[in-house]
């Protein structure tokens, strides 16, 4: 089974901009909103995934399954069907993970698919002039775009540290922010808590992930690795973060029991 990172490697209006001081979806909630990044269930059929989400009482997700990513050339019907099935289950899709935006065709496809899903946020990555184009078109469309950091073993990715993301953000409007993956920060050897703190003003969405060690990508249960998950959650509380904290668990095979533990763990800290 190809991993989500391998997918990305292959690839090479709802919210007013002025109202995003600390998170995408408005200012302050009493508790953090815990959801799921759906790549976690990439091995499950779609309807089985919905059943799992419903059993866990998950209300909000980011759509990040591989078949929805740009490099796999998804069809409109895939998005229409997914939206209808999620809405029937009472599950709100709040973000679309498109992966790498390489050119204007990718960009227009990402905007189109976001519209089909009914989301106002897109997660992915783009660099240089392409990021400027993403900024312009997302602003026109009333969408927000979160730059996603990654770890690739043995390779340098454009966005590995908070400083990498902040440098890119310095040249674009506040339409562009950060979708911060705390597990990838840890894999790259960076302190996830410090990264979240540095990105606070532009933080839109969080991928909550724990990893076994720096320089590796083995996912472990939240709180059992090096990503300082309790401290990450405390920092998000300190920021009054109001966006989605999406659990992401990248593991092959059966993940249902593990994700149940992860959701319970995250909710205790929310």
Give the bridge partners for 97, in sequence order: 123
Residue 16: predicted pLDDT = 33
Residue 68: predicted pLDDT = 98
Residue 21: predicted pLDDT = 37
Q: How far apart are CA 76 and CA 95, in angstroms?
A: 17
Average pLDDT along the chain: 92
Residue 209: predicted pLDDT = 98
Residue 9: predicted pLDDT = 44
Q: How far apart are CA 246 and CA 13, in angstroms?
A: 22
Residue 198: predicted pLDDT = 98
CATH class of 4-269: alpha beta
Give the number of other Cβ atoms within 10 Å of residue 17's Cβ.
Answer: 12
Residue 7: predicted pLDDT = 41
Cβ neighbours of residue 135 under 8 Å, at least 6 residues apart? 145, 172, 173, 175, 176
Burial pattern 21-32, b for ≥16 Cβ within 10 A else e, equals: ebbbbeeeeeeb
Query: Could you say which residues of the chain have pLDDT below 50?
Result: 1-28
Nearest to 147 by CA among 120, 114, 172: 172
Residue 99: predicted pLDDT = 98
pTM passes above 0.85: yes
Residue 3: predicted pLDDT = 47
Please state the domain extents for the chain.
4-269
Burial pattern 170-179, b for ≥16 Cβ within 10 A else e, equals: eebebbbbbb
Task: State the DSSP string of 177-214.
Answer: EEEEEHHHHHHTT--HHHHHHHTGGGEEEEEE-EESST
3-state percent breakdown (helix, strand, coil) of the chain, nearest 5: 45, 20, 35
Task: State the DSSP string of 134-147.
Answer: HHHHHHHHT-EEEE
Residue 26: predicted pLDDT = 44
């Amino acid at each position: 089974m190809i991993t989500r990172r391998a997918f990305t490697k292959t690839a090479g209006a709802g919210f007013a901009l002025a109202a995003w001081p600390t998170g995408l979806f408005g200012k302050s909630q009493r508790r953090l909103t815990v959801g799921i990044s759906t790549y976690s269930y990439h091995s499950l059929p779609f309807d089985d995934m919905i059943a799992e989400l419903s059993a866990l009482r998950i209300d909000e997700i980011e759509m990040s399954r591989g078949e929805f990513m740009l490099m796999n050339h998804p069809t409109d019907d895939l998005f229409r069907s997914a939206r209808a099935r999620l809405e029937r289950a009472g599950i709100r899709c709040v973000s679309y993970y498109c992966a790498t935006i390489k050119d204007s065709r990718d960009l227009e496809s990402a905007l189109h698919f976001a519209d089909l899903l009914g989301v106002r946020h897109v997660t992915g990555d783009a660099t240089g002039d392409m990021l400027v184009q993403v900024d312009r078109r997302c602003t026109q469309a009333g969408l927000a775009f979160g730059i996603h950091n990654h770890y690739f073993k043995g390779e340098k990715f454009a966005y590995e540290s908070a400083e990498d993301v902040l440098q890119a953000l310095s040249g674009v409007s506040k339409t562009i922010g950060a979708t911060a993956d705390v597990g990838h920060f840890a894999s790259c050897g960076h302190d996830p808590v410090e990264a979240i703190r540095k990105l606070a003003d532009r933080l839109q969405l969080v991928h909550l992930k724990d990893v076994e060690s720096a320089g590796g990508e083995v996912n472990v249960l939240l709180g059992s690795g090096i990503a300082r998950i309790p401290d990450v959650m405390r920092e998000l509380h300190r920021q009054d973060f109001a966006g989605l904290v999406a659990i992401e668990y990248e593991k092959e095979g059966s993940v249902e029991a593990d994700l149940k533990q992860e959701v319970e763990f995250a909710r205790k800290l929310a």
